[in-house]
Amino acid sequence: MISTGSIAEIQALISKFKSEGKKIGFVPTMGALHDGHLSLVATAKEKVDIVVCSIYVNPTQFNNQDDLKQYPRNIEADKGLLAENGCDVLFLPSDEVMYAGRNTIKFEFGDLDKVMEGKFRPGHFSGVALIVSKFFNIVLPDYGFFGQKDLQQLTIIKKLVEELFFNLEIITVPIKREPHGLAMSSRNERLSKEDREKAKIFSIALTEAKSILMEKQSSEAAKSKVESLFANHKAELEYFEIVSDKDLLTKTENYLAPDTVLCIAGFMGNVRLIDNMYLSGV
């Protein structure tokens, strides 16, 4: 595995690979890698000749500076995992490389970045779109690989690619879960063993709500069930929404359509967690 923090060096490598007719896949990460990240790499390995990964904790997508400071960083362990799992090139830029003191561009996505995560994390998706745009322009991948767990981010990145005519295809990789159902996340590292076990309430709530909707009961019944599960639980529910994965707007009918996805977010202690589940079983 080749590792570099230089834009010029990685662009030279990419240029060489492309001149050889090789397809490039890109897996952006913020490190603290787990099996969910590695499933992105594995999916990329099956589809492309060269897998490029990045590790960069992007400051512009954090509206909470304490969250930025506490975000887990395990760079040496991460490098070992990527090397063992087939990453060909690792891009490890610094803040100075990615921003060089400049941070003036803002992105707007209409309703896409105003609901759910956007409602509780203002400016978050502008920062995501900015850093992803920079990476796409640097790496020039043929494919970008993103996890379903960050569904709203995925939807916004697809919109970004469409609107700015980025010449690549976005590949969605399904959520990887821990044995008790908790969606894998770098933030899980900040949970105590007890809280990690209790955090399965998020996936349990999604499963219960899915069952209610599959029985053709109302969305109100599903939401009421979710709220009741959290009522006397250590975890705090922030939102539960039933939306279309196309526009993230709340669905009021046709819940059994393949675009229906249940989205949830909340806190286990001071750790914020998100999860989602399709009714179609995706």
pLDDT value, residue 50: 98
Tokens of 95: 């803040």
Q: How crowded is the C-beta side of 28, counted as CA atoms within 13 Å?
A: 26
124 as an active site residue: the answer is no
List the catalytic residue out of 37, 124, 180, 233. 37
pLDDT band, very low/low/confident/very high, at 281 (cuts 50, 70, 90)? low
Domain 2-173 and domain 186-275, same fold? Reply is no
pLDDT, tens only, 122-161: 999 999 999 999 999 999 999 999 999 999 999 999 999 9
- CATH code assigned to 186-275: 3.30.1300.10
Of all residues in the chain, the percent with pLDDT exceeding 90 is: 90
- CATH code assigned to 2-173: 3.40.50.620
Question: Would the pLDDT of 282 be above 50?
Answer: no
- CB contact set of 232 (below 8 Å; sequence gap of 6+): none
Average pLDDT in the chain: 95
Of all residues in the chain, the percent with pLDDT exceeding 70 is: 99
Q: Tokens 């821990």 identify what position?
A: 178
Length of the chain: 282
Question: What residues form the annotated binding site for beta-alanine?
Answer: 61
Tokens of 240: 């539960």
pLDDT band, very low/low/confident/very high, at 15 (cuts 50, 70, 90)? very high
Q: How crowded is the C-beta side of 111, counted as CA atoms within 13 Å?
A: 8
Q: What is the pTM of this model?
A: 0.94
Q: How crowded is the C-beta side of 223, counted as CA atoms within 13 Å?
A: 12
Q: Which residue type sits at 174?
A: P
φ/ψ of residue 130, rounded to 5: -65, -50
Alpha-carbon span 242 to 230, nearest angstrom = 17
Q: Cβ(270)–Cβ(250) under 8 Å?
A: no
Question: What residues form the annotated binding site for (R)-pantoate?
Answer: 61, 153
φ/ψ of residue 72, rounded to 5: -65, 140
Using the 8-state DSSP alphabet, how is residue 259 labeled?
T
The domains of the chain are located at: 2-173, 186-275
Q: Cβ(13)–Cβ(89) under 8 Å?
A: yes
Question: What residues form the annotated binding site?
Answer: 30-37, 61, 147-150, 153, 184-187
pLDDT, tens only, 181-237: 999 999 999 999 999 999 999 999 999 999 999 999 999 999 999 999 999 899 999
pLDDT value, residue 236: 97
Q: Tokens 């803002």 identify what position?
A: 106
